């Protein structure tokens, strides 16, 4: 009976190890690495996993062996000589299995970890600087060379070294794109540097990895890695102020935007709107989501967001704003024109 329970435990443990290592393909997995830094980290992960699995198999084997031995000892007691032999074997196992092997394993892991951390921090020349500030609960993303700021989306060129300057102006957040690099805290009054070199174009999910308040779970972002050429074109286009509203409705929206409280908190390049409390809206129409990954950016959600953001994201700092139906419509038309 005991024997079966132990075997069951061994199989269950093994199954759990396998299951927890297979994530769903939708959620970002740090072992599905798409960048230089993430590859380093995944390497350490696989080494730790392999060593842990080997230790697990050996220990489980010894447990099964010990139970069998006790079982046979009970049925036919051993001679004194055999008992002393078994005792000597046990002592040797404690020295090797309990002290020597764990020491070697921990030493190997320590050396590999220190070397990997070193490699992740090594500065690269000609790195593209991008500054990200953790807000409640969204991300302000600035490209200092282009003097352009956006929110909740980080465009990066593939193959080029990136230096992300991370900070916060409120509480501590943590910037994490599992497929590209390790997580790094964003601390008020301190600029931490995260280095990334994405290997291929693609869209990667990012998230806040440090509990930061009521909407921590809705503090996501998207990293869009483009070819170097596409990225340069994107940045050049973004550096220009948006075009004048083309439609009548959008033009009315621009007027309403500046009359209502919107412009006090948001900036739209090339207009009088220059608030800094909320996300910059210069390219709002081109972004995929609203509220840092809370809902898809479509006209319906946008209308609901601008009138009552807390109904979509409880705790969002933008208060409900009273406006007429036509004001909502025209402001949505205006924001939809900002690409
Ligand atoms: Cu920001 Cu959690």
Ligand 1 atom with the smallest distance to the CA of 134 is 1
CB 183 within 8 A of CB 28: no
Ligand 1 mean position, distance from CA 254 (Å): 32
Mean pLDDT of 92-96: 88
Which residues have C-beta within 8 Å of that of residue 3, sequence separation ≥ 6? 67, 68, 71
Ligand 1 mean position, distance from CA 339 (Å): 27
Confidence of residue 158 (pLDDT cuts 50, 70, 90): very high
Mean pLDDT lowest among 23-32, 66-75, 298-307:
23-32
Query: Cα(134)–Cα(314) distance, rounded to whole angstroms?
Result: 18
**Residue 17, pLDDT above cutoff 70:** no
- Residue 241 to residues 74, 125, 146, 157, 168, Cα–Cα distance (Å): 86, 30, 12, 22, 27
pLDDT for the residue numbered 70: 82
**Residue 18, pLDDT above cutoff 60:** no
Regarding the beta carbon of 185 and ligand 1, being less than 6 Å apart is answered: no
Nearest to 158 by CA among 124, 121, 203: 203
Ligand 1 mean position, distance from CA 107 (Å): 34
Ligand 1 atom with the smallest distance to the CA of 209 is 2
Count the alpha carbons within 13 Å of 118 in the hemisphere toward its beta carbon: 6
Regarding the beta carbon of 212 and ligand 1, being less than 6 Å apart is answered: yes
Regarding the beta carbon of 219 and ligand 1, being less than 6 Å apart is answered: yes
Q: Which helix (H) or strand (E) holds 155?
A: strand 153-157
Ligand 1 mean position, distance from CA 134 (Å): 8
Confidence of residue 14 (pLDDT cuts 50, 70, 90): low
Ligand 1 mean position, distance from CA 211 (Å): 5
Ligand 1 mean position, distance from CA 250 (Å): 34
Return the structure tokens found at 257.
């935007």
Regarding the beta carbon of 216 and ligand 1, being less than 6 Å apart is answered: yes
Query: Cα(194)–Cα(120) distance, rounded to whole angstroms?
Result: 8
CB 318 within 8 A of CB 275: no
- Residue 237 backbone phi and psi in degrees, to 5: -70, -40
Regarding the beta carbon of 208 and ligand 1, being less than 6 Å apart is answered: yes
Return the structure tokens found at 266.
């948001």
Residue nearest to atom 1 of ligand 1 (CA): 173
- Residue 243 to residues 67, 76, 147, 230, 271, Cα–Cα distance (Å): 78, 92, 17, 21, 11
Q: What is the maximum span of the chain, computed from C-alpha positions, in angstroms? A: 101
Ligand 1 atom with the smallest distance to the CA of 212 is 2
Regarding the beta carbon of 135 and ligand 1, being less than 6 Å apart is answered: no
Confidence of residue 103 (pLDDT cuts 50, 70, 90): very high
Cis peptide leading into 294, omega within 30 of 0? Answer: no
Query: Cα(241)–Cα(234) distance, rounded to whole angstroms?
Result: 13
Ligand 1 atom with the smallest distance to the CA of 216 is 2
**Residue 23, pLDDT above cutoff 50:** no
Mean pLDDT of 252-272: 89
- Residue 233 to residues 27, 226, 241, Cα–Cα distance (Å): 30, 10, 15
- Residue 26 backbone phi and psi in degrees, to 5: -75, -40
Ligand 1 mean position, distance from CA 104 (Å): 38
pLDDT for the residue numbered 50: 95
Return the structure tokens found at 116.
């990997």
Helix (H, G, I), strand (E, B) or coil at 270: coil
Q: Which pLDDT tens digit goes with each residue over 28-45?
A: 888 888 999 999 999 999
Ligand 1 atom with the smallest distance to the CA of 173 is 1
Ligand 1 atom with the smallest distance to the CA of 137 is 1
Ligand 1 mean position, distance from CA 206 (Å): 11
Ligand 1 mean position, distance from CA 281 (Å): 21
Ligand 1 atom with the smallest distance to the CA of 208 is 2
């Amino acid at each position: 009976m005991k024997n079966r329970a132990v075997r069951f435990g061994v199989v269950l443990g093994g199954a759990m190890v396998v299951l927890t290592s297979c994530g769903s393909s939708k959620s970002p997995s740090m072992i599905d690495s798409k960048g230089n830094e993430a590859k380093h980290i995944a390497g350490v992960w696989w080494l730790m996993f392999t060593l842990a699995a080997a230790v697990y198999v050996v220990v489980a084997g010894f447990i099964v062996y010990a139970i069998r031995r006790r079982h046979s000892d009970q049925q036919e007691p051993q001679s004194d000589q055999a008992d002393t032999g078994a005792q000597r074997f046990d002592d040797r196992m404690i020295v090797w299995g309990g002290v020597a092997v764990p020491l070697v394993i921990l030493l190997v892991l320590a050396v590999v970890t220190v070397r990997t951390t070193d490699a992740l921090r090594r500065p690269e020349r000609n790195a593209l600087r991008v500054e990200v500030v953790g807000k409640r609960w969204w991300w302000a993303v600035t490209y200092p060379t282009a003097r352009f700021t956006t929110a909740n989306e980080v465009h990066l060129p593939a193959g080029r070294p990136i230096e992300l300057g991370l900070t916060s102006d409120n509480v501590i957040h943590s910037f994490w794109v599992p497929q590209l690099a390790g997580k790094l805290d964003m601390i008020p009054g301190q600029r931490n540097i995260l280095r990334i070199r994405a290997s291929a174009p693609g869209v990667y999910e990012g998230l806040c990895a440090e509990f930061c308040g009521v909407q921590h779970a809705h503090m996501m972002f998207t990293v869009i890695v483009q070819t170097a050429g596409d990225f340069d074109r994107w940045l050049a286009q973004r550096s220009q102020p948006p075009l004048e509203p083309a439609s009548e409705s959008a033009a009315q929206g621009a007027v309403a935007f500046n009359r209502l409280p919107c412009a006090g908190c948001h900036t739209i390049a090339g207009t009088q709107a220059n608030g800094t409390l909320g996300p910059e809206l210069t390219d709002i129409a081109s972004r995929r989501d609203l509220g840092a990954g809370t809902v898809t950016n479509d006209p319906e959600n946008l209308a609901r967001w601008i009138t009552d953001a807390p109904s979509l994201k409880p705790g969002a700092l933008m208060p409900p704003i009273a406006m007429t139906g036509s004001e909502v419509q025209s402001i949505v038309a205006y924001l939809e024109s900002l690409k």
